[in-house]
A and B are shown apart, each in its own frame.
Chain A
């Protein structure tokens, strides 16, 4: 009996290797298929995969245990319900939805119903922050869930969601459009324009536009491309970072839905510029519902000669794009962790240097760019650098998409020029009474009222687009706790300052909640935040203490000396 079972699994894996390849980068795709098939990943599957790839079973288990969407312990329900617990949803009464889910199903979070239909789990940011509370049922996203909707959703689930009009697909609220969103380009237009130029000229155009990466770090895009272009390696890669995990960000999901062709143009232009023949879109698993649409678009482009061999007749220019799914890990948005994940490893950031531009995917030069960066690059090639650089400030050119959520009248996507002040922004979104704003998501910083004259831009408040507004009644300690929980959850755990430091911050927040934290200890923790910023290996740990430091700094009076249970 057992032997047959083992052989059967081994055979399934062999077949999947045919489909996904036999190098280790096939690991995650195969694990996804197996999890779907068995509704969890049985121990035997771990073992068989290890043997099939000539690695050790413990290694495979290590990979699987890293990602929150993989389950090894027990069979998941037919429907896995993942309720967003991140700040924006937390502020709009997700607790009531959670309570009602438990009531309806008769189980607690982390459990599966006896009939094997439903599993309840919490998850981190689903990218629906402007329409929370958000919830994922398998790959279906639900927005604005209210306690009384829960019942209806469960009924529809039991009916396998046969009602096609049942709302689950949600476009974003676009509140303010600008040159980027109103670009009016045709599929392939950017690529056609690019192929008329020499790769060096494209780099010059991008350089002239002063485009800086839209993923958060703001690295000059032209420079990144140039470094990769000048590398003599024959094998190079272009990766589109569609991991959008930063709490409060949802603009990439919108771009993938509405401007995907231009993003693909951007990736193809990048490939042409640096000499890459393979591209990957690393799509977060939370956006699984998008995959088929995106794949269809890619297939169409292959058919129309915009991908594949001899693209648009250009001799020697071959490029193709594949989509790789993440598996539930925020840190995989960090570019080196993303590459680790693509290679079928635990998504642990690498030591830098060397950088991906020379030592990326399987050791080859790789450029990783944000979805929006590729879109911008396409438009710059079509419309010229000045079209782009006329907006913004001296060091932060162009307009940028901001994902705005939290306590404001008009949450949604805003395209604004860099240099906009917080003040103006709040007026625009209808939140002039805000107490504070979180710029840059959990990894960002908290700006209090008296600093609302500060501006958005790499020189002042840098952000990948996440802006969360806190209304006058917000308890800032609760905010700090939510961010802190997020980091404890999402730290990859390899380096000491981040792995333990974030836990110490959370412990300190508990002490504050219970009103038993001395100023001296609070100061020590703020200093620890400095150490985390300076000594952590990657941006996650480096930012892990920011929210706490800035909140504790600006709202010291509010958080010290609490009397537990008084509110």
Chain B
């Protein structure tokens, strides 16, 4: 039931030089489906028409080096490291951008090619300021790796030592160190093609060319949603996240401080990659042990807060529907999710008039922070002043989110520090622990038991799936399993950029106790069809929002899940590098597996949630205490920089 939006506001947005698929427009179907013969280093193969030389070479086991090429992005063909020799051509060609459309004879490592690659690499190194051992990408830098592969042992064309640009660490999420930039433009393409934010562009030309923001503003002033996709696509240390681990270590080392950490599901499905495991290998319980080994006092599962989010957001959805249908009030529908701070900031910047559509429910991270410094502090009789809340997130926008002025509802900064998956891995390595070798251990109480619903928040469509599981059952009194085999709500799963689904509410039961305060009855919902959509990557979000603006089909939706990053949290800007489609799929498998193995898979059945509403948030979802601690408001931002 996926849905192709008719809107395509960014057709032709990417610089044209970067699209190689255009030739397809002028080719008939039979040709497009044909097979072409190619010879690569003497090996004859057959490839589908239009395959790039780079991809063709992979099929015969030849690795051609690349830098500006990235599976998630359109072709640039600018770094030139991937040049190969095409028989009969005067010059070498970039294999990443050369489509095979007729029989072709290719050489991938002749003397000319080797010399050209060495030269290109050495030219880059001559301009690359910085020493490898003082760089966060040391050991996993694409440039460094090539230098070692090609045996670079001296700087043939010299080596710049004085800085040209200096560092910009004004953003709470990311640091730009343009002296390490090799102008591959992957960040520019990510920010435009995937995110439609356009924080960066190429400025000037020739040797003066640089990547910068509009008016060369520092990052904190630039229109940036902090999603970190630029970081995740950067081949070098030119872009990296703002590392808070020193502050976290300081808190751990301070005996007065009670340091707790919440771990989100997406990092757990990915952190193993930093220790050489296959993407998607579940290490949740080993991670708990490793984190304790680092010195954290308690390890909690963010999933608990995810369940809480579902309760609050689900209640809000029902309330808005009731107001719209029964009370015929003007309420903002569809309701938009708010788990992804990058997405929220995107909306605040680009579609501020749609802020009322945002659910007032905080993201799980912030709910958890507030609950820890109130409920948990009370329960354990700890002064919230002494509690340091850390969260392990796949996300650089969370670093900015925890600093939003709104999030002090506990009376303190609700979440003190955010660590990305990469930073957590670094901390674990620093204490000399090999994650996969750790014994398993459980999360700490009182939030120990989370549901599968919380886990799948990590994947695109996960929030929607969890919401459906809970709302459907609360409303109809029927088991969702009757509709979806094994609770797999397939229409909202998968990596399609925009997904759409409809769900019929056959009949309704009485209002469950928990929602008594929210709505008086549910009869009005019987026979209605719930329309939902899911979009990930803010470029896709933009398509949906433009459609709503025009009164298109998405305007009739009731509930839409938006995630700033492609693939949802699994593809977050704080996740291990690289992230591509295949890796995303593997991480998703890890997450859905964890869900299937959970004993409880619906948020409202989570005993810790039930207990929280019984003992602490006694007025139930949307009650006054909930409002105080779990809900928030948003800020209109302007794109007008001048």
Contacts and interface: CB of A to CB of B under 8 A. Distances in A.
Interface of A: 6, 24, 43-44, 46-47, 51, 54-59, 61-62, 65-66, 231-233, 329, 336, 339-340, 343, 345-346, 348-351, 353-354, 358-359, 362-363, 365, 488-497, 499-504, 507, 524, 527-528, 530-531, 533-537, 542
Interface of B: 9, 12-13, 15-18, 20, 22-23, 25-26, 75-81, 83, 91-92, 94, 97-99, 101, 112, 115-116, 119-120, 123-124, 126-127, 156-158, 182-183, 185, 192, 197-209, 212-215, 223, 639-642
A47 B640 contact: yes
27 contacts: A24-B12, A44-B642, A47-B641, A54-B9, A56-B197, A57-B198, A58-B201, A232-B26, A340-B16, A353-B98, A359-B22, A365-B26, A490-B206, A493-B205, A495-B79, A496-B120, A499-B206, A500-B126, A501-B123, A504-B126, A504-B157, A528-B123, A530-B112, A533-B91, A537-B78, A537-B80, A542-B91
A58 B124 contact: no
A350 B94 CA distance: 12
Contacts of A488: 206-207
A351 B75 contact: yes
B16 A494 contact: no
Given A56-B197, A343-B16, A531-B115, 4 more contacts: A57-B198, A58-B200, A58-B213, A492-B206
A362 B198 CA distance: 21
A134 B15 CA distance: 35
A345 B94 CA distance: 22
Contacts of A339: 16
Contacts of B208: 493
A489 B205 CA distance: 8
Given A233-B26, A354-B22, A504-B157, A537 B126 contact: no
A397 B485 CA distance: 75
B119 A497 contact: yes
B98 A537 contact: no
Q: Which 5 A-B pairs have the closest CB atoms?
A: A56-B198, A493-B209, A58-B201, A350-B17, A62-B201
Given A47-B642, A58-B199, A535 B15 contact: no
A546 B261 CA distance: 61
A523 B396 CA distance: 48
A503 B207 contact: yes
A359 B124 contact: no
A351 B26 contact: no
A354 B16 contact: no
Contact of A534 (B20, B81, B112, B158): B112
B115 A58 contact: no
Given A346-B202, A496-B123, A499-B183, A535 B91 contact: yes
Contact of A493 (B120, B197, B206, B212): B206
A58 B214 contact: yes
A52 to B, nearest CB: 13
Contacts of A349: 17
A149 to B, nearest CB: 32
B336 to A, nearest CB: 22
A254 B314 CA distance: 74
A359 B25 contact: yes
Contacts of A537: 77-78, 80, 94
A420 B203 CA distance: 45
Interface of A is mostly: helix
A497 B25 contact: no
Contacts of A58: 198-201, 212-214
Contacts, number: 192
Contact of B123 (A54, A340, A489, A500): A500
A56 B192 contact: yes
B614 to A, nearest CB: 50
Contacts of B183: 493-494, 496, 499
Contact of B80 (A6, A348, A535): A535
Contacts of A340: 15-17
A531 B119 contact: yes
B269 to A, nearest CB: 33
Given A233-B26, A534-B116, A350 B198 contact: no
A47 to B, nearest CB: 6
Nearest to A534: B92
Nearest to A358: B26
Nearest to B20: A351
B115 A494 contact: no
Contacts of A61: 201, 203, 214-215
B23 A358 contact: yes
Given A43-B215, A59-B198, A531-B116, A499 B91 contact: no
Contacts of B112: 530, 534
A353 B99 contact: yes
Contacts of A336: 17
A489 B206 CA distance: 6
A524 B156 contact: yes
A491 B91 contact: no
Nearest to A527: B115
A491 B207 contact: yes
B572 to A, nearest CB: 22
Contact of A57 (B12, B23, B158, B214): B214
Contacts of B182: 496
B198 A55 contact: yes
B258 to A, nearest CB: 44
A336 B209 CA distance: 20
A351 B17 CA distance: 6
Contacts of B99: 353-354
B641 A530 contact: no
A24 B12 CA distance: 10
B192 A59 contact: yes
B126 to A, nearest CB: 7
Contact of A56 (B101, B201, B205, B212): B201
A57 B22 contact: no
B545 to A, nearest CB: 13
Nearest to B25: A363
Contacts of B23: 353-354, 358-359
A530 B115 contact: yes
A282 to B, nearest CB: 16
A530 B111 CA distance: 12
B205 A495 contact: no
A352 to B, nearest CB: 9
A475 B80 CA distance: 34
Nearest to B81: A496
B26 A231 contact: yes
A218 B226 CA distance: 50
Contact of A346 (B15, B76, B126, B215): B15
Contacts of B205: 65-66, 329, 346, 491-493
Nearest to A47: B642
Contacts of A66: 204-205
Contacts of A531: 115-116, 119-120
A348 B18 CA distance: 10
A473 to B, nearest CB: 31
A43 B157 CA distance: 38
A167 to B, nearest CB: 34
A349 B20 CA distance: 13
A348 B12 CA distance: 15
Given A43-B215, A358-B23, A503-B207, A534 B17 contact: no
A502 B207 CA distance: 9
B80 to A, nearest CB: 5
A6 B638 CA distance: 14
B201 A494 contact: no
Contacts of A363: 12, 16, 22, 25
Contacts of A499: 183, 206-207, 209
Contacts of B640: 6, 47
A535 B208 CA distance: 21
A58 B642 CA distance: 13
Contacts of B119: 497, 501, 527-528, 531, 535
Contacts of A62: 201-203
A320 to B, nearest CB: 23
